Structure 1
Amino acid sequence: MIGYYVHHHGVGHLARASSIVPFLQDDVTIFSSRPAPDRMSASQWVAVPMDTAWATHRDTGPDARGATAGGALHWAPTGVPGLTERMATIAAWIERHRPRAFVVDVSVEVSTFVRLMGIPLVVLAMPGDRTDAPHRLAYTLADRIVAPWSRTVYDPEWLREHADKTVYAGSISRVADRVSTGPRVPDTAVLMSGAGGSSLAAGYLDAVRAATPDTTWRGVGTPGEPWVDDVWPILDTAGVVVTHGGQNAVADVAAANAPAVVVAEDRPFDEQRATARALDRAGLAVALDAWPDPAAWPDLLRRARALSADLRTATEIDGAAARAAAAIESVAG
C-alpha cells in the first residue's frame, strides 16, 4: 500500500497524481481536501478536512496563532480543529495499513508528520526559491525527491545538495499519450488561464484581439470565456499557445510541442517565474513576468512563431509519469 497526499489548491497536483498513479504497482490511497474526482485510479480516496483558509488567515485573525511554529513550518496554526483532524485521519490510516511509502505533493507539514511516523517519504519538488527553513526540512527528510521537470531545462542550485536522492522525471502531462488531431493552424492563438487563480482582467483578451487583427484568438478559462475540460485538440492545432507558468499547463503545452508564450502569475516562492525564465533561457518559449500591454502582442506572437526548439523533447514529456512512479516504487521496495 502507498499513501499519496494531494494538495487542494488548483488542479495541478491532482492532475499530476492522475498521471502517476496508474503506473504504480501497489494499491494507492489518496488523501486530499479536494472533492473526490469522478474517475481516479486509486483504491480509495480519503477526504481530510481543511486546516483553515490559507489566503484568508495566513497573517491575521485567531486561526493564525503560531502558524509557522517559529519559522520551522509553513502552516500549522494552533487551535484549529481541522488541522488536528486531518493529521489524526492520516495517522489512523498509517497505523492500520503500514504503507510501504507515502508520497506528498505538496505539504511540509504532512511530509514531516508522515516521516515522524516512520514511513518512507517521497516528496514532489516545486520550482522557485525553496531555500526557506520549512522546505529545507521537507527535502532533508525525504527518502526520495521527484522533480517533475527536465534537469537540462531547470537545475536549481538549492536542489543540488540533494542530488543523490533526486529523480528528474521530466514534465508530467495528462495529455502526453494523446494523438495529434490535425495540422497546426497558422495565425491562430490560444490564451489559457488556470484554476489556481489569475491576474487577468476582464476584457483583456478582447483588447488583445483588437491589437492583433490578423490572429484568431480563443480563450480557455479566461474571464468571459468557458472552461474547457479537454484542451488537447486546442493545444495540438493552435499556431501559438499563451499560458500561465503553472507546471501542468506548461507540461500540456510541451506535450503538444506548441510555440509558446509563458506568462508567470504571482505565486509563493516565485514558482511560475522560475519555470518561465528557465524555458526562456533554454530558448523553448517566450517568457514574461506579468501580463503585458495588449499592444505588445504582435511582437510577442512573432517571436513565438520564430521558435525552432523541440519543446516536447527538451522537457522529457515521454515516459515522465512512469519515471516518477518508478522512483516512488524504489522507495516502497
Structure 2
Amino acid sequence: MGLTGWYIHHHGAGHLTRFRAVRPHLPGDVVVFSSLPQPESLPAATTWVHLDRDDDGDTAGADPTVGGLLHWAPLGHAGHARRFAAITGAIADRRFDRFVVDVSVEVALLVRLLGVPTVVVTQPGDRSDTPHRLAYASATRVLAPWPVGVHASSVAPTLVEVGGISRFDGRERDVEPDPGRVLVLGGGVAGSDLASAAAATPETQWQLAGGTASTWIEDPWEALQRAEVVVAAAGQNSVADLAAAGARAVIVPQPRPFDEQVATGRVLTDRRLAVVRPAWPAAHEWPALLERARSLRPDWSQWGVTGAAKRAADTIAQVGA
C-alpha cells in the first residue's frame, strides 16, 4: 500500500470529518498535513504535521491570486512559505506513493511538481476557473463525494464520483422520531432567528447542534434520528449525514465561493429530497415549511452513501499502486 499524504483544509470541520470517514478503509500509513490542531486521537498508522496559517496578517497588496492564476499564494508571507517548506521537506525525506488534497489548488500543484501523484477532492459549484482547471488537469484522480450524475461531471476525465461520504455510513436506525422535534445542524444561525422560529411553532421543540461549545454534539446520530425535521445547510457532509439518517429536512444553503451550496440545493430540489430555501425563512413561514418537510418521502438512496467511504478509499489506494 505504501505511504499516503493527506492535506486537510482548515476551514470548518467538514474536510476533517471526511478524512475520518475514509481513513478506516484506507490501508497503509497516512501522514496528514493541516493548519487545524491535531485531534486528541488519531487512527493507527496516522501521523499529523501541523502547518502554519497563510491567511493571517495583512495580505493587502500581496497579490495572493497571482493575477488570477491561483487562489492563494500571497507574496512575502512567512507562514505561507513555512507550510510549503514543511510539505516539501516531508516529501524529500520519505517516498509518498500518493497524496490526497482536500482542498487546495496550490498544495495540489506543489505536490505534483515534487513528483507525487495526487488525488484532488472536488466540490460542487462552478469550478471552471483557471486555478481549478489547472489542479484537476494535474491530478491523477479527481474524487467527487457525490453520486454519479448529480453534478456536472465535465471537470476532468479522471473524475470518480463515489457517492455522498458520511461518518454514519453503516449505522442502523434504532430510534424513532419524536413528534414535533426540530434539529438545527451547524452554526451560522442567529439566536434571535432561532427563537423567532420556535415562537412561531409552539407545538415544536427546537434543538441546536453545533456552532458553539455549549451546543456542540460530538456524535449527533441519535439527535438526527429523534428529529422529525432537520434544518441544515447544504454542505457535502451535512447532506450525506441526512441521507444516512433518512431525514426529512429543510435546507438553507449558505453563501460559499463558486456557489457550492447553491448548486447542491438545486439538486436536492430537483430530486425532491428536501425543502430548500435560499435564505433563513421569516418566522411566519416556518409552520408551512415544517409541514412540507414532514410530508416528504425522500428517496435518499439516490445519494449513494452506502459504501461511499470505502469507494473513496479504493479510488485513493489505486493511485500510485
Pair 263,103 (structure 1): closer, same or farther in 2 beyond 3 Å: same
TM-score (norm 2): 0.95
Conserved? CA contact 2:59–2:74, under 8 Å: no
Q: Which moved more, 1:272-281 or 1:185-194?
A: 185-194
Q: Distance in 1 between matches of 2:162 and 2:38?
A: 26
Change in Cα spacing, 1:100 to 1:223, as seen in structure 2 (3 Å) is closer
Contact 2:168 2:244 in 1 (8 A): yes
1:6 and 2:2 correspond: no
Whether the aligned pair in 1 keeps the contact of 2:124 and 2:151 (CA below 8 Å) is no
Task: Please state how far the C-alpha of 1:187 moved relative to its aligned partner.
Answer: 2.1
Query: Which residue in the other structure is 1:253 paired with?
Result: 242
Amino acid at match of 1:112: L
Q: Relative to structure 1, is the Cα distance of residues 224 and 138 closer, same or farther in structure 2, using a 3 angstrom cutoff?
A: closer
Aligned twin of 2:126: 129
Candidates 45, 62, 66, aligned match of 1:65 = 62
After the TM superposition, which residues 1-333 of structure 1 pair with which residues of structure 2 at under 5 Å, given as runs? 1-41=3-43, 42-53=45-56, 61-62=58-59, 64-152=61-149, 154-156=150-152, 159-162=153-156, 164-194=157-187, 198=188, 200-221=189-210, 226-311=215-300, 313-333=301-321
Aligned in 2, Cα 1:221/1:25: closer, same or farther, shift over 3 Å? closer
292 and 202 in structure 1: CA distance in 2 versus 1, 3 angstrom threshold? same
CA distance in 1, matches of 2:213, 2:82: 39
Q: 1:65 and 1:94 mapped to 2: Cα distance?
A: 27
Give the secondary structure class of the aligned counterpart of 2:67. Answer: coil
Q: Does the CA-based 8 Å contact 1:191-1:242 persist in structure 2?
A: yes
Supply the distance in 2 between the matched residues of 1:263 and 1:244 (Cα, whole angstroms). 5
Contact 1:171 1:247 in 2 (8 A): yes
2: CA distance between counterparts of 1:182 and 1:76? 48
- Contact 1:176–1:255 at 8 Å: present in 2 too? yes
Cα offset for 1:296?
Answer: 0.8
Is the Cα contact below 8 Å between 1:184 and 1:238 reproduced in 2? yes
Whichever residue aligns with residue 46 of structure 1, its letter is: V
| CA–CA distance in structure 1, aligned partners of residues 62 and 211 of structure 2 | 36
Distance 2:10 2:61 in 1: 19
Helix, strand or coil: the match of 1:160?
coil
Q: Measure, in 2, the Cα distance between the counterparts of 1:62 and 1:292.
A: 36
Shift of 1:224: 10
> Deviation of residue 87 (structure 1)?
0.6
The gaps in structure 1 that reach 5 residues or longer are none
Distance 1:275 1:27, change over 3 A: same
The answer on whether the counterparts of 1:251 and 1:317 sit within 8 Å (CA) in structure 2 is yes
Separation in structure 2 between the aligned mates of residue 181 and residue 222 of structure 1, nearest angstrom: 26
Q: Contact (CA 8 Å) 2:232, 2:252: kept in 1 or not?
A: yes
Query: What stretches of structure 1 move > 6 A for 4+ residues in a row?
Result: none
Structure 1 residue 40 displacement after superposition: 2.0
8 Å Cα contact 2:147-2:302 kept in structure 1:
yes
Tell me, yes or no, if the aligned pair for 1:125 and 1:145 is still in contact at 8 Å. Answer: yes
Q: Distance in 2 between matches of 1:150 and 1:193?
A: 23
Q: In structure 2, how many angstroms separate the alpha carbons of the residues matched to 1:222 and 1:45?
A: 25
Equivalent residues of 2:230, 2:247 under 8 A apart: yes
Determine the C-alpha separation between the residues in 1 that align with 2:59 and 2:305: 44
- Report sequence identity in percent: 44
CA distance in 2 between partners of 1:223 and 1:20 (Å): 26
Report the more deviating stretch, 4-13 or 295-304: 295-304
The count of corresponding residues between Structure 1 and Structure 2 is 318
Q: Contact 1:170–1:320 at 8 Å: present in 2 too?
A: yes
Q: Tell whether the 8 Å contact from 1:219 to 1:225 is kept in structure 2 after alignment.
A: no
Distance 1:64 1:228, change over 3 A: farther
- Return 5+ residue gaps in structure 2 as ranges: none
Q: Which amino acid aligns with 1:11?
A: A
Q: SS at the partner of 2:66?
A: coil
> Retained in 2: the 8 A contact 1:63–1:79?
no
Provide the TM-score with structure 1 as the length reference: 0.92
